[in-house]
Structure 1
Amino acid sequence: MRVISPGLLVAAVTELSLSRSAKLVRLKDVIAWCEWNGVDYEGPGGKQQALWDADREEALGHRRLLKFKSGECKQSRAGWALIAHGDKAREAAAQLTWREQLWDGEKWDWLGGSAPVVARRPNARRERSSNESNTEHLVDQPRLLVG
């Protein structure tokens, strides 16, 4: 199995962005492309390390891709776009509240200064328990059967 390289990352983004109207290609789509095409995106280090190495090498070298991310943690969503599709990709990223990242030679910097603030979803467990406590009194009520 081939390990992903900067060239294969660009090939994935190119193929995926040409096959759809959205020009921002998400990480999950690149991973699916790798699995479909027999490309190892994990590498020996695991945890998608080969993919992140290819991403960094691409940014150091040819710079054919733009990178976008939804936040600063590792669990943030990430995506790429071809430079030629930059305007449409930036528009799609803005709708998702993702921001562009640039490689400065040592680290990724956020275009515009800082990482986007990720809006936290309400805790579903807390909401469910508060809703249950509001309806508890209804459950224990005797029911009248009309015949």
Structure 2
Amino acid sequence: MRVLTASLLVEAVTELSKGTPLVKARDVFAWCQRNGVDYQGEGPLHQALWDADQDEARGQQRLLRFKSGECKQSRVGWSVAARGARAREAAARLGWDEMRWNGQQWDWMHGPHPKAVPGFIEAPRAA
């Protein structure tokens, strides 16, 4: 079984984005299973996917990355860069935001990610 690489991640997102502008991680998992690709790899949960994601970000940057919130359990998705406008619209409808690789880590494109919890009230700041 092949292990997921940056090129295979781009291939998966390219194929899957024909049906939707924003490809979610669960769709990539299903693509990997259909095509005999290991998205788990060695180490922590889905390590091969996260390694491929970072390798792509460090390399050619053919994909855009989106995330639904700050925590590890937040949903992650990608789009082919050429379809960026449609993907950004789809992400905005879902309340997701685009992320950019700064060379060391993923940063939110539009500053800190807003709290996605309805009715969340931030505690007053001390003066």
TM-score by length of 2: 0.90
- Give the Cα–Cα distance (whole angstroms) in 2 for the partners of residues 14 and 7 of structure 1: 10
Structure with more of its chain in helix, by fraction: 1
Mapped to 2, the partners of 1:74 and 1:51 lie a distance apart of 14
Report the equivalent of 2:2.
2
* 1:103 paired residue number: 101
Cα root mean square deviation, aligned: 1.3
Secondary structure in 1 matching 2:17: helix
Give per-residue Cα distances to partners, 1:40-92, cap 9 Å, x unaligned.
Answer: 00101140011001000100000000000001111100100000000000000
AA in 1 matched with 2:103 = G
Check conservation: 1:66, 1:86, Cα contact below 8 A.
Answer: yes
Could you say which residue in structure 2 is the equivalent of 1:67?
65
**Residue matched to 1:130:** none
Q: Any idea what SS the aligned residue of 1:72 has? A: coil
Q: Which has the larger radius of gyration?
A: 1
Aligned residues: 119
Mind listing any 5+ residue stretches in structure 1 that lack a counterpart?
121-147
Aligned residue runs from structure 1 range 65-144, under 5 A: 65-119=63-117
Following TM superposition, the consecutive aligned residue runs of length 4 or more in structure 1 with deviations greater than 4 angstroms are none
CA contact (8 A) 1:98 1:116 kept: no
Match of 1:11 in 2: 11
Q: How big is the shift at 1:117?
A: 1.9
Superposed displacement of residue 4, structure 1: 0.1
- Whole-Å Cα distance in 1 between the matches of residues 77 and 114 of structure 2? 14
Report what 1:39 is aligned to.
Answer: 37
Deviation at 1:116, TM superposition (A): 3.6
Structure-1 residue corresponding to 2:124: none
Q: Distance in 2 between matches of 1:86 and 1:116?
A: 21
